[in-house]
């Protein structure tokens, strides 16, 4: 079915490497220049998502916050009409504050602005945020080492290195998107990233598994390049189908799963797409070059 | 057509579909829901060292006990109080009605002191036997105190020595009430008045009953989800779940026809098994956890896609449906194992390092990967075998396989003779022994 589209992936490696390099350059540039939009899980701070029984204005809320020296907090109205000046739903973000102080602010809001229901309140101390960054980095790096160990055991070291390079690219691409679009990162981002790691390596392993199998069946006349191309194309339908079904799942979470899980699913959407790309177009050629061969050999 | 095999297929298929329709809802509802779905507070408390109070193992343990008593006074279902590391305590309050007050209460030191008019501390909370909210004179809310024997003695002395003078009852240095003593009280009972409401009196009573904390406790982290948002998240995630699944189902049907139906039935069983296992492990269903389930369905399909694609390839090489199926399964299973183990490793790290909802996600991801390997490989295999052995059709198109094409011939030439021989042997085997032989040939091929 796919044969009419068939072309050599290994011989055209320059195009695929270039796409990745251009993207990563932009991504790293953005990470350095713009940095990340780290949520309170990382930086510490508090979020109060409140639903007042009557519509309130930003000024009313800010006046109360000012009396607690929190005048520079971010206050957003939650209204479908973006030009609305008052709404029942209000989202307040402050810097790091003591939970006792936050409670005082909330009881002041009740007495001065009006009664409300709590939708969501999060208050994270600065220490916890620092710990999370540490844990996240540790988790991702640990996962890489585990994968290297496993693939070396089941395949060989060069497969492991090629797979990890693909993986590092996927993680970097996901980080790039979050930096470029300045999307807020929270603790679930780390979970999404690790899922990307688990999934992306999955696709790479399916391709490598074919290469491993074809390596045994290979005749002397067949070049390594052709063999890799054959392996990639033999698994192409599977790659497309699997990407399809996983993306169905993620897109439905992204579109209908609600605001709370939006960024979580977006990270996976980006990571999975990148994972599909790197497993298909980069992993095979990378392995060939790690064996010290050039495309065509 | 062999009705026997077709009958087996239909019975199992209908049993799974029927079981799914009947049990899915009660099953899903019986699983413990995370705070992000049912609403509630997740609080991390930190014991802080002060000049007066040292943070040591014993002090933290006693604090856990005291906080536990305070929470039990709130009357919540299944609250969690857990010590974490050296000096932290994790508290989960599902469905708490007044989270602000409840959290404020957790960290209160609640040191009660009775002082005479010169400021000498005569009695403390340790002398109490019980404290209850009561309705006093003029319908005012009060807290009734009952002293233990020693406390009653001390209180009788205190009141006897201070007739006509004020004594003060303080909580954490703040005066709760400062009555003038009229007469010596010997019954071992006293009342604290000045409470604004019965709720406030009840809260004070709980604090006094539970005792004072031996160390200073601060709220390090607080995550509260209101019941409305929880309900909203639940409804939305169910919707996302249904849409995601429907898309995957249609996809499998369109591309794999009969095999697709088999895979879809296996998926139903998979979802049920996952919920059953979660229930019996006492796992908590969180919002990321539901996303994990949807995702794991997408990935469970991967195992089937791998198998079916192999199946197709083998048919295109000119094999019969039967032998193509057998070798399709046995070859794909190695790939499935290798690729799923990496996902399991990622899930294990998440579980080890994550907290709360993230842990819930890791659990569903790991369980999902394990179970999907079982259903996608074993269950699909049996069902598909029944269908193929039923001789229902010999046309590969029914299994979503287009007729052998030109490229297939090329692949076959490339194949080494050695594998051809093995395949032929498998063929004979199947013919001689029948359906039972298939698993055996599998293991043989897998070893190779």
Mind listing the domains of chain B with CATH numbers? Answer: 3-36+226-447 (1.20.1640.10), 40-225 (3.30.1360.200)
Contact criterion met (CB < 8 Å) for B414 and A222: yes
Contact list in B for residue A258 (CB cut-off 8 A) is 232-233, 236-237, 240, 287
Q: Is A14 exposed, middle or buried (0-12, 13-18, 19+ CB in 10 A)?
A: exposed
Name which CATH class applies to A3-39+127-290: mainly alpha
* DSSP H/E element including A169: helix A157-180
Q: Is the pLDDT of residue B431 over 50?
A: no
Taking residues B378-388, what's their average pLDDT? 87
Please give the sequence-ordered ranges of beta strands (E in DSSP) within B210-366, or none if there are none. Answer: 216-225, 284-285
- Strand duo A74-78 + A86-94: pairing: antiparallel
Helix (H, G, I), strand (E, B) or coil at A92: strand
pLDDT of residue B357: 67
The ipTM is 0.84
Q: Chain B within 8 Å of A249 (Cβ-Cβ)? A: yes
**Whole-number Å distance between alpha carbons of B378 and B388:** 15
pLDDT of residue B419: 43
pLDDT of residue B414: 42
* DSSP H/E element including B231: helix B227-281
Mean pLDDT of chain B: 82
Helix (H, G, I), strand (E, B) or coil at A235: coil
**Whole-number Å distance between alpha carbons of A273 and A174:** 10
Q: Of B104, B337, B29, which is closest to residue A100 (Cα–Cα)? A: B104
Cite the residue boundaries of each domain of chain A with CATH code 1.20.1640.10: 3-39+127-290
Q: What's domain A45-124's architecture?
A: 2-Layer Sandwich (3.30)
Q: Is the pLDDT of residue B443 over 50?
A: no
Tokens of A98: 């003591």
Q: Which residues of A114-153 are buried (b: 16+ CB within 10 A; e: fewer)?
A: eebebbbbbbbbeebbeebeebbeebbebbbebbbebbee
Nearest CB to A99; choose among B222, B243, B416: B222
**Whole-number Å distance between alpha carbons of B16 and A263:** 35
Contact criterion met (CB < 8 Å) for A257 and B291: yes
**Whole-number Å distance between alpha carbons of A297 and A286:** 14
Which single residue is written with the structure tokens 């679009």?
A181
CA torsion sign for B290, B292, B293, B298 is positive
**Which residues 399-428 of B have a C-beta within 8 angstroms of A?**
402, 405, 407, 414-416, 419
Contact criterion met (CB < 8 Å) for B226 and A120: yes
Taking residues B371-392, what's their average pLDDT? 85
pLDDT of residue A221: 86
pLDDT of residue B418: 43
Cite the residue boundaries of each domain of chain A with CATH code 3.30.70.3400: 45-124
Give Dmax (Cα) for chain B.
112
| Helical residues (DSSP H) of A113-156, grouped into ranges | 126-154
Mean pLDDT by 10 residues, chain A (297 residues): 81 94 96 92 91 92 92 87 86 90 92 91 85 83 90 94 95 95 89 84 92 89 91 92 89 90 92 94 94 82
Which single residue is written with the structure tokens 């019965």?
B198
Which single residue is written with the structure tokens 């971010």?
A74
Beta carbons of A187 and B358 less than 8 angstroms apart: yes
pLDDT of residue A178: 95
Tokens of B37: 């779905």
Q: For B202-242, write each residue's pLDDT tens digit.
A: 888 888 888 888 888 889 999 999 888 888 988 998 899 89
Nearest CB to A187; choose among B220, B358, B419: B358
**Whole-number Å distance between alpha carbons of B346 and A197:** 7
pLDDT of residue B404: 53
**Which residues 179-208 of B have a C-beta within 8 angstroms of A?**
none
Tokens of A76: 């957003």
Helix (H, G, I), strand (E, B) or coil at A115: coil
pTM of the predicted model as reported, rounded to 2 decimal places: 0.81
Q: Is the pLDDT of residue B435 over 50?
A: no
Beta carbons of B118 and B131 less than 8 angstroms apart: no
Higher pLDDT, B56 or A152: A152
What SS3 string covers B346-359? HHHHHHHHCCHHHH
Taking residues B351-369, what's their average pLDDT? 80
Contact list in B for residue A247 (CB cut-off 8 A) is 298
**Whole-number Å distance between alpha carbons of B132 and B144:** 5
**Cα-trace Rg, chain A:** 25
pLDDT of residue A164: 94
Helix (H, G, I), strand (E, B) or coil at B325: helix
In Å, how far are B65, B67, B73, B81, B227 from B202, measured between CA atoms?
19, 16, 9, 21, 24
Q: For B98-149, write each residue's pLDDT tens digit.
A: 888 888 888 888 888 888 888 888 888 888 888 888 887 778 888 888 888 8
Phi, psi angle pair for B93, to nearest 5°: -120, 85
Q: Chain B within 8 Å of A260 (Cβ-Cβ)? A: yes
Mutate to test the interface with A, among B338, B366, B411 (most CBs of A within 10 A): B338
Nearest CB to A258; choose among B223, B236, B365: B236
CA torsion sign for B175, B179, B183, B187 is negative
CA torsion sign for A253, A254, A255, A257 is positive
Beta carbons of B399 and B260 less than 8 angstroms apart: no
Higher pLDDT, B418 or B4: B4
**Which residues 279-318 of B have a C-beta within 8 angstroms of A?**
287-288, 290-292, 294-295, 297-299, 301-302, 305-306, 309, 313
**Whole-number Å distance between alpha carbons of B83 and B34:** 19
Phi, psi angle pair for B169, to nearest 5°: -105, 120
- Strand duo A184-185 + A37-38: pairing: parallel
């Amino acid at each position: 079915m796919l044969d009419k589209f068939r072309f050599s992936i290994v011989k055209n490696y320059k195009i695929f490497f270039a796409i990745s390099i251009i993207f990563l350059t932009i991504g790293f540039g953005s990470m350095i220049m713009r940095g990340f939009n780290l949520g309170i899980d990382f930086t510490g701070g508090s979020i109060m998502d409140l639903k007042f029984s009557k519509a309130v204005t930003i000024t009313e809320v800010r006046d109360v916050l000012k009396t607690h020296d929190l005048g520079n907090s971010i206050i957003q109205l939650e209204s479908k009409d973006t030009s609305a000046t008052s709404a029942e739903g209000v989202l307040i973000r402050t810097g790091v504050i003591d939970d006792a102080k936050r409670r005082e602010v909330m009881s002041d809001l009740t007495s001065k602005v009006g009664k409300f229901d709590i939708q969501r309140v999060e208050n994270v101390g600065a220490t916890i945020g620092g710990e999370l960054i540490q844990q996240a980095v540790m988790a991702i790096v640990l996962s890489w080492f585990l994968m290297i160990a496993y693939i070396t055991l089941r395949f060989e070291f060069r497969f492991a290195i090629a797979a990890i390079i693909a993986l590092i690219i996927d993680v970097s691409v996901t980080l790039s998107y979050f930096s470029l679009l300045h999307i807020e990162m929270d603790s679930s981002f780390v979970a999404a990233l690790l899922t990307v790691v688990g999934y992306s390596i999955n696709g790479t392993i399916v391709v490598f598994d074919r290469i491993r199998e074809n390596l045994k069946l290979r005749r002397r006349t067949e070049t390594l390049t052709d063999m890799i191309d054959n392996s990639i194309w033999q698994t192409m339908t599977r790659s497309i189908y699997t990407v399809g079904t996983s993306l169905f799942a993620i897109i439905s979470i992204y579109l209908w799963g609600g605001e709370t899980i939006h960024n979580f699913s977006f990270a996976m959407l980006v990571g999975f797409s990148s994972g599909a790309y790197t497993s298909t177009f980069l992993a095979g050629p990378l392995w060939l070059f790690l064996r010290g061969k050039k495309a065509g050999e | 057509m062999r009705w026997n095999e077709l009958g087996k297929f239909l019975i199992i298929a209908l049993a799974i579909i029927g079981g799914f329709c009947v049990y899915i809802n009660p099953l899903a509802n019986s699983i413990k829901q995370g705070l992000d779905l049912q609403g509630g507070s997740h609080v991390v408390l930190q014991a802080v060292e002060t000049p007066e109070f040292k943070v040591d193992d014993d002090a933290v343990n006693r604090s856990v006990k005291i906080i536990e008593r305070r929470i039990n006074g709130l009357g919540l279902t299944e609250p969690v109080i857990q010590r974490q590391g050296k000096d932290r305590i994790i508290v989960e309050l599902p469905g708490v009605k007044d989270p602000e007050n409840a959290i404020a209460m957790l960290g209160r030191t609640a040191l009660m002191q009775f002082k005479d008019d010169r400021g000498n501390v005569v009695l403390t909370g340790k002398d109490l036997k019980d404290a209850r909210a009561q309705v006093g004179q003029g319908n005012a809310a009060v807290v009734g105190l009952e002293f233990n024997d020693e406390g009653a003695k001390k209180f009788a002395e205190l009141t006897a020595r201070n007739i006509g003078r004020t004594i003060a009852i303080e909580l954490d240095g703040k005066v709760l009430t400062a009555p003038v003593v009229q007469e010596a009280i010997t019954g071992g009972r006293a009342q604290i008045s000045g409470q604004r409401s019965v709720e406030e009196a009840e809260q004070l009573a709980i604090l006094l009953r539970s005792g004072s904390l031996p160390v200073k406790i601060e709220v390090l982290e607080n995550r509260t989800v209101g019941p409305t948002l929880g309900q909203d998240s639940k409804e939305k995630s169910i919707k996302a779940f249904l849409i995601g699944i429907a898309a995957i189902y249609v996809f499998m049907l369109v591309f794999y026809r009969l095999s697709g139906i088999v895979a879809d039935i296996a998926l139903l069983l998979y979802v049920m098994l996952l919920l059953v296992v979660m229930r019996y492990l006492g796992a908590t269903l969180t919002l990321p956890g539901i996303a994990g389930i949807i995702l794991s369905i997408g990935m469970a399909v991967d195992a089937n896609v791998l198998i079916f694609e192999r199946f197709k390839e083998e048919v295109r090489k000119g094999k019969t449906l039967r032998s193509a199926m057998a070798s399709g399964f046995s070859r794909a299973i190695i790939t499935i194992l290798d690729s799923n183990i990496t996902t399991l490793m990622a899930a294990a790290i998440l579980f080890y390092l994550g907290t709360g909802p993230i842990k819930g996600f890791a659990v569903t991801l790991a369980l999902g990967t394990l179970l999907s390997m079982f259903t996608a490989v074993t269950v699909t295999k049996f069902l598909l075998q029944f269908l193929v052995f039923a001789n229902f059709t010999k046309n590969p198109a029914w299994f979503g396989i287009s007729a052998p094409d030109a490229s297939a011939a090329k692949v076959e030439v490339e194949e080494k003779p050695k594998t051809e021989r093995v395949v032929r042997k498998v063929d004979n085997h199947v013919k001689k022994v029948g359906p039972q032989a298939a698993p055996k040939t599998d293991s043989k091929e897998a070893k190779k």
